Structures are given as C-alpha cells and as structure tokens.
A and B are shown apart, each in its own frame.
Chain A
C-alpha cells in the first residue's frame, strides 16, 4: 500500500488565487512527521513546511499552510496568493519510525505539478 498518496498529477491556478494540493498518508506509527517540498524545473528540493503528528495547530510558513486532519490522515498544502514562481512540482512526504541509529526514513508521494497562470 502506498504510504503517501497525491491524487492530483497536475493543477492550474490563477495568479493571486489560493490553491490546495492534496495529500493523504498511511501509517500505524503514533509519532510521525509530514513535509511538503517544492521542486522547480532546476531540480533542487526546497523544504516548505513541516507538521508533526502531535502538533495541535496547523503549521504555517508565510503563504504556505498545512491543513492537517489527523483522523482523515490528510495533510493538504494550501498556497495563498499564488505567484508565477510557485509553478513547480510539489511533493508530500512522511517521516515515520523511531529514531534508530540516528536516522528516520522519509517517504515521498509522486508529486503534483502546479502551474500558475498569469
């Protein structure tokens, strides 16, 4: 079973509007973390936002916010006031597993390609 599911292969949004990118996850761990990364065409992975499973409030970072619904196992990314520079691939990822030997595995979804239209 997929651990991270992103059901939107591609999304379009008008500049200055808000857009929600969907992400659902599957884990039996009580402690886990959820990430969103942006990958422009140049290839580098840019960290956007993080939500811990025990965090009671939704994470926010500037124009990015994470709509965390634990019971539904969803962690949607909301980008407000879209900009042309937001056009990129967006990956949802999950860290799970206990600290062991100093590392934790992160699993990525297949990504959503966002295109911002002028």
Chain B
C-alpha cells in the first residue's frame, strides 16, 4: 500500500517558538493532503485540507495564521505551528489521498507528537 511519512515523530519545544512538521507521500503523488489533530483519548479533528499549489482550506475554528500549511509539491505538505503554546500540545496526523474519483482511501502518516513546554 501507499506510504506516508511524517517528520519529526515527536518534538518538544518552548512556548513561543515555531515548529514545522513535514508530511510526505513516499511512493505516490498525493493530490490532496489533510491535517488532523488528536487530543488524548479523543477522535481525529480535521484542521485543514490542502491541494498542491493552492491555499489550504481550513476548518471552522482553526486559526490560519497559527497553523500555516504549505503544499508545495505532490509529495510534500508542511504544517507550521507558529508561536506555539502549551495548549497546542497534541498529536498531529497527516493523510494523503490518491487522486481519482473512484479511489476513496486516505493513507495516514504515523503522526507527530508535539509537546510545548
């Protein structure tokens, strides 16, 4: 199956700093990538959807200026948490979707655990 990687797998940072998380589709071209966050013992909440070469579409309540998403190529999307605060500590998961109307599967990355001190 298709493989999606995330880097880093975990990161600890100081409050006020920015953190960049990379999501790569390793063996396929992803027309669309999704970013989710998951709090402990809770479900995945979609943050934003990004298509290659265009601006990301953010879900209601997600701050665009805080969570910067760049989808520069068909295999790479980045999420930058700017001026991180302890409440941003969470598990961030990306997924990539293979193009085509008949193909419905999303492939998930292994996730990045962010802890903001």
Q: How close is B45's CB to chain A, nearest CB, in angstroms?
A: 8
Asked if B35 CB lies within 8 Å of chain A CBs, one says no
Question: Across the interface, which residues of A come within 8 angstroms of B57, CB to CB?
Answer: 101, 103
Per the bound structure, the CA–CA distance linking A44 and B1 in Å amounts to: 15
| B46→A45 contact, CB < 8 A | no
Is residue A99 within 8 Å, beta carbon to beta carbon, of the partner chain? yes
Tell me if B91 and A43 are in contact (CB < 8 A): yes
**Min C-beta distance of B96 to chain A, whole Å:** 11
Q: Give Cα distance in the complex from A111 to B38, angstroms.
A: 12
A38 to B26, CA, bound (A): 21
Among candidates B99, B106, B110, residue contacting A102 with C-beta atoms closer than 8 Å: B99
| A106 and B42 within 8 A (CB) | no
- Among A37, A101, A102, the most chain B Cβ lie within 10 Å of the Cβ of A102
**A 7-39 contacts with B by CB, 8 A:** 33, 35, 37
In the complex the two chains form, is B46's CB within 8 Å of A106's CB?
yes
User: Does chain B have a CB within 8 A of A108?
Assistant: yes
Verify A45–B44 contact, CB threshold 8 A: yes
CB < 8 Å: which of B42, B45, B95 contacts A45? Answer: B95
Shortest B88–chain A CB gap in Å is 17
Q: Contact check: which of A46, A52, A107, A109 meets B104 at CB < 8 Å?
A: A52
Complex interface: chain A residues within 8 A of B108 (CB):
37, 44-47
In chain B, positions 62-92 with a C-beta closer than 8 Å to chain A are 91
- B95: which A residues are within 8 A, CB to CB? 45
Residues of A within 8 A of B93 (CB): 43, 45
B61 to chain A, nearest CB (A): 15
* Contact between B97 and A103, CB atoms less than 8 A apart: yes
How many Å from the CB of B49 to the closest CB on chain A?
Answer: 5
Q: Could you tell me which B residues sit within 8 Å of A by CB distance? A: 1, 31-32, 34, 42-46, 49, 51, 54, 57, 91, 93, 95, 97, 99, 101, 104-111, 113
Interface residues in chain A, defined as those with a beta carbon under 8 Å from any beta carbon in chain B? 33, 35, 37, 42-47, 50, 52, 91, 95, 99, 101-111
